[in-house]
Structure 1
Amino acid sequence: MAAVTELSFLLFALINNIHAEERIIIQKKRTSYTFNLPKNTNSCLISRSVGEEKLVLWNTSDLWSNNSSVPEHLKQRLVSTVNTSSYTILNLTHSDSGPYQEECWTEGNVTHENNITIIVCTTSIDRRGFGASLGETVNLPCKGAADNLDIHWLKQNSGYEQETWSRVFGDNMTSVMDNVRGRYQVVTNTSALRVSNVTTTDFTRYRCLVMNQQQCVSRYTVQLVPYEIIYHSVGETAVLSCTITDSTDYQPPRWMVINKTNSITHLGQQNQTVPSVDQNYSLVFSSLMLNHSGRYYCKVSKREQRYDLVVCPKFGPPAVELFSKGEEVNLKCRDWREDKVHGWFIKSHQKKGRIFSVTYQRMSRVSWSKYDNGNLVISNISVGDAGEYWCAVYDPDDYQCESTERTVLVYNEPFGIYSTFFKVRCSVLSVLLLMLCAAVVAVNLRTRRGEQLSAHTHT
């Protein structure tokens, strides 16, 4: 047990000194890991560093030498397949965690060099998807985190055939509050990873490693995917873009939709015209219907892009409600009924007219309950809360939108067009204008009467 603890300690002591191209492999306990070496090389060496000692696991030019430094308990778990240049460690344990190196030579020259760190975790928790739009801030949870355990966040690398990871905070393995770009933070109380101002490079998988005495207790995987709510009315045109493709994808993206029975339907086949997939792999609805509402996925390789399409009956004219800073605003969902499901959406002025859900954002200062009267309450309101708020009412059986109400929340500026000052000024100006008009009429009447008297005198 002491040897295991020492090796695990050395893993994280050495991990910061490994070459910048080092790749991190996360494996579950009692699984296996295979080293795949390039073919057509004279000799290859796979070694592992434990402190200052270098254990040679495989030497293809002298496999299983009598002078091998590999312990017998480890040698019994090593399997080689020379014909395919692959070497496997079976039944991984915590003691197998550590830095490894691959080196190959051809005619005396190094033609392959690879630094790998293997981290063995006791358990693995299924991944969960989280959606975010560009520019938003999202908290990715770390399930299993506790106050007495250490947390390390990793981010999946792209461009490798094998699943590899890198540290979110560079060489610093501790739960620091910022990385060099300043967009990643660890939330102190929950150990969640906060990603601010989301960009396209952030859409990948993340893993938090829950550590106990430098051993990985569990790994929890979350995937950050592009997500957007598209809100339309019947008869309009909608285009869902697929922006996750690039030149390295061998297969074109596939569109899928999850319907009310949670079954997956593949879209864009040749015999399907509504919706259709154009040359840019966008999903096009030429004339929306109520039954087009649903969750749509654009999938390619290990990535996906998600849309929630909400189609409601024709919109009526919105109501206008004024507010001043610091007030509490209560927006009513007048079509709310106990036998229906409803949701609140916001078309925010601050987010350049983008639509997002109050439920997903979990906005502070905003309270809403589908089990209450359906109202949306915004406390301590600010100028940034201005926008168009929509309450959509759904049928719980097929989750299709039955009605929608729109309320435009307008900030009542002290000297704006909705302010008391502006209204008083308009009233005063109106009175002055009426007085001016009356004076003009009086002058015109007096002038006309004088002209009539003058004409009568001459006659």
Structure 2
Amino acid sequence: MPKYGLLLVLLLAKTLAMEDPEPIFKAVGETLEMGFCFGVDYIAVYRINEGEKLLLWNSSDLFSTPDDYKNRVDTSNGQHELLGFQLMHLKKSDSGVYLRECWVDGNRTNQHINYLYMCDKEIPSQELFLKNGSAVLECDISYSEHDNTSIKWFREVYPGYKTTLFLDTEKSLELTEEELKTVLQVQNNGFSLYISATGLEHNQNFFCLVVKRGQCKYFKNIQLPETNKPEMQSVYYAVGEKAVLSCTSEHLSEQTQHLKHWKTPFGEVSATTPLSEMFTSNSEGNGDTLLVIPSITINHSGEYACFSQIIVSEYYITVCSVLVSNNVQLNSGEKVIMACTLTKDESVNILWYRQIYPMESQLIYDSEDPSINLPADIMDRTHIDSNASLIINEVNEMDSGTYWCVVLLDTVEGDINESLGNVHEENDNIVYDSEWVDEDDNTEICIMKRVTKLKVHSKNLTRSNEDYSPNPKTEPETSPVIYAVIGGVLGILILGLIVLCVLKMRTGRSAVDSRRAEPRAQKRNPAVSAPLMSL
């Protein structure tokens, strides 16, 4: 092999080593969605075969698609700023490793590697029944007596729900993950698994593949009953904001308090293992463990889970590209209009929140969920107008606090450009970033967050009686250069006036002197003055 070819293979191996391929399971005839790249120049998808990269599709060069894929490859969405990839009419021969990349200005901003398992069909999962808190997971015992048949078992792992292989009976009946050996038992040569009650607290989603002579016959998704797993909380932060997530100490014994740690998209974080861009801190008074991210970037989107011996708290951070902040002061009894500054349309979802405690907020409005009612203390004097502005009449001191709205594009079918174009702000501190949107994540795209800090005074302030305007007109700041120019012009004018006055004074004196000299001249030379007098 030429040295350049060897170098390319080594570079490819290094790239793949950075990220293990994540399994995807599909049946023959289905469609593979490779996700979306948002706000990028183009997307490229490769198939990796024995160390070689075969370009399947490049959105900037559609003629590069191989003949075998031309009739099966399509874009996932036709919007200009949202690029995706579909491989349709899947065949058994499509099994393998796929690499997808997002490119902006000649730089790869995101990549993801998947291993596609192609099976003849998918078997529907059966309902599981718990006995004393435990359960038996069965793939298909009927295949257990067949020769040359093996089972592959996978599970989704927190955070991120990444799918990992933990048992391949073709190689061994030993579990590959140490933490599973105390909660799982292999039965019937791997065709069934016994999972204890403790195991159910940590694992809710399994996949099994029946493989015969190297070919996948079918796969099954087994979802376990929910136990005491906490509900995932959606939180929204804008680029540059400080994020603080709380891990409650409720229901934890003193022996397990010190075991708390956070699992994040960047790795594990605890008091002894901080990361460069985040760290943990103890809350004063209640002993909660806080995860602190000093400055949010677009890369912080994802799932964050706090663990002790079980999962304690779970969050999903959605990062908003635009942040607008307002401070509002007004008198008791007046009306406040807190705007999202958006032309409302069907492609976006508006959420309004208010802060009720330092670490707790309350969802008070969801444009897509009519079951969310306004809080009782403001319900009779509050409404949302057609532009999604939150309007509170007859405010009082109890209404003081922090309110914010988020504007979500919660479907990839929406027109992102149009929604972004509807954000009309006078604030120039706006940052847009490209974002990877994965089909299976059902990711929401937050295009704006607007924060209003409201202060209501009981006594009248010295201010106008007009209602609060969300975008008050401000006088433009005058540049020092303008002051200098104006000063120079005034100086020239003053100097000109002085010179003019001096000239006038001199002219006046000359005239007086001439008038005084005429009588004297006439006395000295009367012959000369006589004709002049006759004129």
Q: Same fold (TM over 0.5)?
A: no
Higher relative contact order (CA 8 A, sep 6+): 2
Greater share of residues in helix? 2
TM-score, normalisation: structure 2:
0.36
Bigger Rg, which one: 2
TM-score, normalisation: structure 1:
0.41
